[in-house]
Structure 1
Amino acid sequence: MFAHVGTHSDTTDADGIRTLRFEVPQNDRPAEDYRYALDHAAHTALGATHLFMRLRDQEGYHPDLVIAHVGWGIGLTVRQIWPQTRYIAYHEWYYTDVDWVRGRRERPMTAEAMVTNRLRDLPISAEFDSADRNWCPTEFQASRFPPALKKRLEIVPDGVDCTLHRPDPEAQISFDWLTLPPRQRLLTYTTRGLEPLRGFPQFMRAVELLQNRREDFETLVIAQDSVSYGQRLPKDDGWGKRALKALDLDQTRLHLHGLKPRDEYLKVLQASTAHVYFTEPFVTSWSLLEAMAAGCLVIGSNTAPVREKVDDMETGILVDMDDRDEVAEMIEWVFDNPLEAAEIRAQAREFVLEHFDARKVFAKKAEYLRALVALD
């Protein structure tokens, strides 16, 4: 059974999995208000609690185990509603300006930003007092938590479907929205939104430099021109639009397309010659490991979350994403050294298969969960 935020609904799929959606009271504060995140968590907690109480009181439902994504308030009352239920809190992020490893502030912050972070963290911290286990998917994400909380986290990866995300040497870009010649050198970039946090402006500056140097490659970007993480732009504005306006780009060799179905997205990864994945120190996208599993040569930002997955010149290439000359140079190296690049691609897939293959990860999780439920 899964519970999601949304309008009231209750459906059961062909596999017998029941999905319930619950309503969240309206949050009248604007998203920019420093109290917004705490209000949103409180409202979500209230909607979830109404659903849980209805399941308990009207259906006599008492789950053996509940897993909830922390921070939105969904799991705050699980153990109050079902005291005997095993509860796992899934922690994705802790909002802080402190580098706990070095014991110093990362950057100056306004009073409003500091208070915003503290209020965001209140529902996150509140989960620790009721959860039987606290999961976090990566070491880097866990490093964001204060030491007293971090020591209570277990690193449990999400897993990647390596059977689906696999290399295909014959993959071609042949869609109704774009067709490229077979074996075309292809530079790819895929993400949810075009934004600075994911290094999109830096990527485009490197593309501009490369296009001025050589004409033997195409660039394909799969993303929506919106901001998923970071400061929102005015309506009808976007970092994609800004790049096209500010940079000297050959738009006949640059293809910007919105989000695509997974089968087409996978073909893009499989046809890629060089795949760029940039991020500031933040949660890495699932697309990083998906790209590595699909046999991409990933050129990644030399930032902590990427370094956890990419070993330079072993399972990918690390660059200073703010240095467009270095970025362009390493993309060219991939273009011009296919044999060496093939070895890195193979090692990247082997790394993902060993540590993140969903078949292994899910089997370990199933064993873990059975043991947890069986505890007296």
Structure 2
Amino acid sequence: MKILFVHQNFPAQFLHLAPALAARGHDVLALTDQGNTRNSSVRTVRYKTPEKLDLPPLLGRTYSEMAERGWLAARGCRALRDRHGYTPDLIFGHSGWGETLFLREIWPDARLLVYAELLYRTRGHDVGFDPEISPDGDQARVATVARSAHLIQGLVQADAGLAPTRYQADSFPPELRGKLTVIHDGIDTQKVRPDPQAVFALPDGRKLRAGDEVLSYVSRSLEPYRGFHRFMRALPAVLRARPQAQVVLVGGDGASYGGLPKDAPGWKDKLLAELDGSLDLSRIHFMGRVPYPQYLALLQIASVHCYLTYPFVLSWSLTEAMAAGCYVVASDTEPVRELIRDGGNGRLVPFFDQPALEAALIRGLQGDPQAPRLRAAARDTILDGYDLHRHSLPRLVDWVESFAP
């Protein structure tokens, strides 16, 4: 087949799938934003980056942004068709960015697949979950309905969709859920694995190793959606109880999913100001965003890995932490419960129960007798259902190839 992947940040979720299809003899091409600097072995073309628009009021803003990106992607595809005679048999794009919205008009006979990552919902998900950060109310729910328009349209137009977890698939309404297949992106467990020889270097030159008392926290951005505020508020008690513990945080200072605080440049600044005087900052290390090998080394040497999240998209960092054999303390929220069983392959605590979080982190750092069993079970969970080469990639390839004309 001629297969066109479409993603503004390609390869993104198609990191392994696109090259695997190319290796099987398919003619694979990727279309991405011209500002995307990520490398791929797959032949790639680019469309113009959307300009800043004079956007309408709040309720129409998201659709306008996504439709504009969709039009630029469609215009790039039109050039492929008219100037280069390119016509794909199958298109596979991420519906979250609007890029697939108008591709039916360019190639009406191509099969269209979408990566349906999540549908925003007004109840039971992130909206109103954390009243401290985003109070519930009619305005928030109405805005959420408006933000969902392009996601619903994208799946309605598609022949089928793919979701990485059951929780994320179930965010879509029953009348659309039948179009979705659940297959996780997959974890390369040969690369992401326990390594007792791993070393993690701190900015001051100190080196942390397996056996050191290390508490890790990872998020694309240090923000409430990933429980950063709950984690930071647990640290005074944890550091008092464990005087040798070192805390290492990986993540940027911006906001990936929620907004920034109104009274501080970022959530790190806000929480450091709130906890001023109660933290031993010599033992807390904010690393920012780090290269992948360094991030992996952190997972491999951590005594405890803390993962907290609203009911929202599940992070790759959790599945990778489990594959690395981490002792995981995580929030007892719906997306996490799909992977972690409390006392089975990790420890779960209620998202808002601060004493429970503190106690779980301290228990892990001081040496939970069940830690070896929980670490092994965490890795086995990934090996048995989320392993890239044994499970995910073969299923993904079969799924895509099932739409061959």
CA contact (8 A) 2:100 2:154 kept: yes
CA contact (8 A) 1:320 1:326 kept: yes
CA contact (8 A) 2:194 2:324 kept: yes
Residues 273-310 of structure 1 deviation map (CA, whole Å, 9 limit, x = unaligned):
00000001110111110110011111000000111111
Residues 118-145 of structure 1 deviation map (CA, whole Å, 9 limit, x = unaligned):
3322211112333121111111112222
Residues 183-212 of structure 1 deviation map (CA, whole Å, 9 limit, x = unaligned):
311000011111111111111111111112
CA contact (8 A) 1:27 1:39 kept: no
Give runs of aligned pairs for residues 142-291 of structure 1, distance below 5 A.
142-174=169-201, 178-182=205-209, 183-233=211-261, 237-247=265-275, 248-291=278-321
Rounded Cα–Cα distance in structure 2 between residues aligned with 1:218 and 1:175: 10
Following TM superposition, by how much is the alpha carbon of 1:43 offset from its aligned partner in structure 2, in angstroms? 0.3
Alignment match, 1:48: 73
- Secondary structure in 2 matching 1:332: helix
Residue from 328, 340, 347 that aligns with 2:358:
328
- Secondary structure in 1 matching 2:329: strand
Alignment match, 1:304: 334
Rounded Cα–Cα distance in structure 1 between residues aligned with 2:162 and 2:306: 29
Q: Does 1:5 align with 2:33?
A: yes
The change in CA–CA distance for 1:118 and 1:322 in structure 2 (over 3 A counts) is closer
How many percent identity over aligned positions? Answer: 32
CA contact (8 A) 1:55 1:61 kept: yes
Alignment match, 1:21: 46
The change in CA–CA distance for 1:330 and 1:37 in structure 2 (over 3 A counts) is same
The change in CA–CA distance for 1:202 and 1:8 in structure 2 (over 3 A counts) is closer
Task: Please tell me the residue identity of whatever aligns with 1:120.
Answer: R
Task: Please tell me the residue identity of whatever aligns with 2:258.
Answer: G
Residues 208-243 of structure 1 deviation map (CA, whole Å, 9 limit, x = unaligned):
111122302111111112221112235961221222
Residue from 336, 348, 362 that aligns with 2:393:
362
Where does the alignment leave 5 or more consecutive residues of structure 2 unmatched? 1-28
CA contact (8 A) 1:8 1:23 kept: no
Alignment match, 1:126: 153
Where does the alignment leave 5 or more consecutive residues of structure 1 unmatched? none
Q: Does 1:84 align with 2:101?
A: no
Q: Does 1:341 align with 2:371?
A: yes
Number of aligned residue pairs? 367
The change in CA–CA distance for 1:42 and 1:177 in structure 2 (over 3 A counts) is farther
Following TM superposition, by how much is the alpha carbon of 1:61 offset from its aligned partner in structure 2, in angstroms? 0.7
Residue from 87, 93, 99 that aligns with 1:74:
99
Following TM superposition, by how much is the alpha carbon of 1:59 offset from its aligned partner in structure 2, in angstroms? 0.8
Task: Please tell me the residue identity of whatever aligns with 2:43.
Answer: R
Following TM superposition, by how much is the alpha carbon of 1:83 offset from its aligned partner in structure 2, in angstroms? 2.2
Rounded Cα–Cα distance in structure 1 between residues aligned with 2:85 and 2:123: 45
CA contact (8 A) 2:216 2:249 kept: yes
Following TM superposition, by how much is the alpha carbon of 1:356 offset from its aligned partner in structure 2, in angstroms? 0.8
Give the aligned CA root-mean-square deviation in angstroms.
2.5
